[in-house]
Amino acid sequence: MSYRQACYDEPLIFDLESEQFCGDEVLKDSPLPETLRRKCLNLPDLPERDVMKHFVRLSQMNFSIDTGFYPLGSCTMKYNPKINEHIARLPGASLIHPNQDESTVQGALQIMHELENMLCEIGGIDAVTLQPAAGAQGEFTGLQIMRAYHEDRGEERKEVIVPDTAHGTNPASAAMVGFDVVELPSKNGMVDCDALKSVAGRNTAGMMLTNPNTLGIFEKDVLEIADIIHDCGALLYYDGANFNAILGKTNPGKMNFDIVHFNLHKTFSTPHGGGGPGAGPVGVKKPLDQYLPVPRIVKNGTYYSLDYNYPKSIGKVRAYLGNFAVLLRAYAYIRSLGPEGLNEVSSRAVANSNYLKTQLEKMIDLPFGGGRMHEFVLSGEKLKSKGVRTLDLAKRLLDYGVHAPTIYFPLIIDEAIMIEPTETESIQTLDRFAEIVHEILQEDSETVRSAPHNTSVKRIDEVKAARELILSYRSLKEHERKFKSHSS
Ligand SMILES: Cc1ncc(COP(=O)(O)O)c(C=O)c1O
């Protein structure tokens, strides 16, 4: 099947032909006091028909999980069953307001309370907060709990150990909470227990670990790691972003972790990407539950209420109780699959990953060899001698209607190509992907280096895009103004 992405010369909505809409009528009727009102709304005045065409055209120039394979390592871009979308949009769920009195949202509170209990069982932990809105915010919350625990014991511990395979959010979160980050070099892609012993000590507050790690390798020494960390009085933090690899087989509780975050938007269904939406609930073992954010949802008989009476709580980390629509999707996903279905998720995630790895490692190097869990990382280092870099291969894949894998991460692999096929893809899709990679590797290097050719947007200047963060119409106009005044 050949691929040509839709391509329109689509202007920004502000540049579409329209009467500029000042909005003075709307502003006049505003209940806000005069001093708080803007003078003009500056919106384009377009009929609904044109707005609809504009956004549908943009969507056709986009890539989506519903149109193609999305093997973006570490991101778990799997197909999300539409029933979960339907449930999240039911009026009883989507039209309630978080400021409503708790007596009028008993159903929502029940769903959240039951979801907390389900996550406790899945994670092997004792209590959960649903507040954090992303994995990274879960890390921030979990590390605040770690800090509160040590402070409560009168101990000033400043260091958090993070392996060099970790996701970038791990050291960033630790630094945001005020810890010093100690980077732990790995050995054969795993934690080196001797190196860990040499850095763990009285100054260690904790260690962050994801298992399987970002190379897709299961940290087989995890119990020894937990002992080393606990023996020095520190806590072990589980980054649960890779949970789809272990669902129903084991859990962080059994691996002796103390604090856990879940990436609901990855493991338990929610179309994410491009910055959201997400949910990163945090679970803990006792006695750390006393530090969880407030309010906690409590059940008295059949009545659910919000309890703020936890004096040692770290406080609130997000407005209201969490990203309810994402929580609801996760609830529906877990309830519809049940324990056996969840167990099958991890079996399939690991089988798909190993099936594809076995085909691709014949063409591109797999550092450290061996089997993998839900994802694997190849090294495009040798392709460089043919004049093709990992970036070029990733761009050329777009021409075949496949989303690029994650590239250049984790940093310990040269020219890294990180592939996570996910549990929802068929064997035909995996075979086709391997065929595409094979075809690309036979192509002349110039075709690959100048890719993509079939997409709506050709190769972009990624450095410029990262340095000049122009993400809104207003900042674009600002940028153009500055550019004009510099050149005149
Ligand atoms: C291993 C790992 N940890 C943490 C995160 C951060 O999660 P989020 O993007 O929801 O903040 C990610 C995201 O890709 C991840 O892959």
Q: Where are the domains of the chain?
A: 13-62+466-487, 83-336, 348-465
Sorted by sequence, the CB contacts under 8 Å of residue 468 that are 6+ apart come out as: 479
Residue 192's nearest CA partner among 218, 231, 221 is 221
Position 159 pLDDT exceeds 80:
yes
CATH number of this structure's domain 83-336: 3.40.640.10
Q: What's the average model confidence in pLDDT over 160-173?
A: 97
For range 272-282, the mean pLDDT: 84
Determine how β-strand 303-307 pairs with β-strand 296-300: antiparallel
Average pLDDT over residues 237-263: 98
pLDDT at 23: 72
- For the CA of 239, the nearest atom of ligand 1: 3
Distance 219 CA to ligand 1 centre (A): 18
pLDDT tens by residue, 284-308: 999 999 999 999 999 999 999 999 9
Residue 135 CA to ligand 1 center (angstroms) comes to 5
Ligand 1: which residue has its CA nearest to atom 14? 75
Q: Do domains 83-336 and 348-465 have the same CATH topology?
A: no
pLDDT of 168 over the 70 cut: yes
Beta strand spans in 319-420 (E): 376-379, 406-407, 416-419
Q: Is the pLDDT of residue 275 over 70?
A: no
Q: Is the CB of 75 under 6 A from ligand 1?
A: yes
| Dist. CA 156–CA 149, nearest whole Å | 10
What was the pLDDT predicted at 357?
98
> Is 438's pLDDT higher than 70?
yes
Say which residues have a Cβ less than 8 Å from residue 169's Cβ, sequence separation at least 6: 135, 136, 139
Is the domain 348-465 a CATH 3.90.1150.10 member? yes
Task: State if residue 214 touches ligand 1 by the CB under 6 angstroms criterion.
Answer: yes
Question: Does residue 276 surpass a pLDDT of 70?
Answer: no
Q: What's the pLDDT score for residue 39? A: 80
Average pLDDT estimate for 246-274 = 94
Place 14 in a pLDDT band, splitting at 50, 70 and 90.
confident
Tokens (6 digits) for 291: 């530090």
Nearest CA to ligand 1 atom 10: 135
Whether 270 has a pLDDT exceeding 80, the answer reads: yes
Mutation choice for ligand 1 from 74, 75, 165, 169, CB with most ligand atoms inside 8 A: 169
Q: What amino acid is encoded at 204 in this protein? A: T
Q: pLDDT of 169-206, one tens digit each?
A: 999 999 999 999 999 999 999 999 999 999 999 999 99
Ligand 1: which of 137, 263, 406 to mutate, most ligand atoms within 8 Å of CB?
A: 263
Q: How far is the CA of 136 from the centre of ligand 1 (A)?
A: 6
CB of 173 sitting under 6 A from ligand 1: no
Assess whether pLDDT exceeds 80 at residue 20. no
pLDDT, position 206: 98
- Pocket of ligand 1, candidates 72, 74, 326: which has the most ligand atoms within 8 Å of its Cβ, to mutate? 74
- Ligand 1 centroid vs 241 CA: distance in angstroms? 6
pLDDT of res. 274: 67
CB of 210 closer than 6 A to ligand 1? yes
Compute the distance between CA of residue 263 and CA of residue 280 in angstroms, rounded to an integer: 5
CA-nearest residue, atom 7 of ligand 1? 135
Query: How far away, in angstroms, is 436 Cα from ligand 1 center?
Result: 28
13 to 57, 118, 473: CA distances (angstroms): 12, 44, 9
Please tell me the residue having the least CA distance from ligand 1 atom 15.
Answer: 241
Least reliable range by pLDDT among 20-34, 316-330, 361-375, 413-427? 20-34
Instruction: Decide whether any atom of ligand 1 lies within 6 Å of the 269 Cβ.
Output: no
Residue 40 pLDDT exceeds 90: no
Taking CA atoms only, the protein residue closest to ligand 1 atom 9 is 135
CA distances from 41 to 21, 239, 479 (A): 7, 43, 20
Highest-confidence segment of 1-15, 31-45, 64-78, 184-198? 184-198
Quickly state the pLDDT bin for 412 (edges 50, 70, 90): very high
Least confident of 254-258, 289-293, 472-476: 472-476
Residue nearest to atom 8 of ligand 1 (CA): 135
**For residue 412, how far is its CA from the centre of ligand 1 (angstroms)?**
18
Question: Residues 84-105: pLDDT tens digits?
Answer: 999 999 999 999 999 999 999 9
Calpha distance 416→316 (Å, rounded): 38
**pLDDT bracket for residue 113 (50, 70, 90):** very high
Nearest CA, atom 13, ligand 1: 75
If one counts every other C-beta atom within 10 angstroms of the C-beta of residue 355, the result is: 16
Cα 211 to ligand 1 centre (Å):
13
What is the predicted pLDDT for the residue at 44? 84
Q: What is the mean pLDDT of the chain?
A: 94
Average confidence (pLDDT) over 53-61: 95
What angle separates helix 106-123 from helix 324-360, to the nearest 10 degrees? 30
307 dihedral zone (left: phi>0; alpha: psi -120 to 50; beta): beta
The pLDDT tens digits for 382-395 are 999 889 999 999 99
